[in-house]
Amino acid sequence: MNFRIVYKYGVTVLLIAGLIVFATSLLIGFNEKESSFTRYLLHAPFPGRAGHTCTVFKGKLWLIGGWDGNSPYNDVWYSKEGLHWYSAGLMPFKPRAGHAAFVYNAKLYIVGGLTFDESRNIIDLNDVWATDDGIHWQCVKEAAEFMPRGGHACTVFKNTILLIGGIACGAEAFKSNDGVSWHKVAGNLPFGSRGGHVLTSFNNKLWVIGGIRVDGNNNFSSFSDVWNSSDGIHWHKVAKNMPFFAGGGHGAVVYKKSLWVIGGFRKGGTVYRSDNGKDWELFNSFTPMGERVSHSCTVFKDRIILIGGFDGTGFKNDVWAFKTLE
């Protein structure tokens, strides 16, 4: 298995773990800068995983897919508050990790990702699935107009779906008005090819934060930059060499009128905040959940819910809630 394939399923964490000092706290609560981390569950009923998604849909949290270091999942779990989780069962789509999920026009979608074939070869996907209720899924596009990929990012901006990047994919952006038909709107984005980044909307702009690049020779590089755009086509670098070194596998959300970056390669135990996307402050130097990559971060009921990921020792199935007290 070559380096690109190893990275695709997150095992790069193992290769760079020697660069990270792991020190995981088992404290239930944590207070610094008028904030709190609360461990909702040490072991949720779903298996430990990374590369999953967790999305708010119709008043619930929906956790989809991921992998445990050996096999990907096609299960779906849901919760009304993050404490009690219920299985929606195995879904008709292929097991996958590194996919994207979003809500659009009252439907929950998943796009692409990475899976295995019968010979255990890693396969990139470019299918699109949708559901009205989180339980009954329908394939709305078997092969979308973009090349198969994982580690990409999707978001909804100005009532349009935008897809950017992916591991070993071009520096391109695609848009869709229905989740079915996609068209390329940019093919040479200035931040270059990257995957494992975060794409979100904040202050009426799109933002790309961090990520990694794997070239054709399987050379690995990571980014700690921040870019924004008013249309998804024209991008401007607003920050570089950020101390959080969000080189992929991090989580980023908009919470209480600020951008937050939590975890990621190299500095997985930190929380950074910015009110404008350019100037960042260290909010927590080391969270009680410890080093974490390829976890999910979701804003839900006035809290950031963090689930699973890889901490250097294994794939986690814990659930944490973060809330500022400011």
We report the CATH number of the domain holding residue 35 as 2.120.10.80
pLDDT at 288: 83
**Integer Cα distance of 35 and 274 in angstroms:** 16
Pseudo-torsion of CA 312, 316, 321, 326, nearest 10°? Answer: 10
Predicted local distance difference test score (pLDDT) of residue 119? 81
Q: Furthest-apart CA pair in the chain: how many Å?
A: 53
Ordered strands of the 100-104 beta sheet: 100-104, 107-116, 122-131, 137-141
Q: What is the pLDDT of residue 37?
A: 84
Q: What is the extent of the structural domain holding 162? A: 3-324
Q: What does the pLDDT read at residue 171?
A: 92
Indicate the residue type of 41.
L
CB 14 within 8 A of CB 8: no
Give the mean pLDDT per block of 10 residues along the chain (326 residues). 38 30 30 69 98 98 96 97 98 98 98 90 95 98 97 97 93 97 96 94 96 80 92 95 76 95 75 93 79 94 96 94 83
pLDDT, position 220: 80
The pLDDT value recorded for residue 268 is: 57
- In this predicted structure, what is the pLDDT of residue 22? 28
Q: How many domains does the chain divide into? A: 1
What is the rounded distance in angstroms from the CA atom of residue 256 to the CA atom of residue 213? 31
Predicted structure pTM score: 0.89
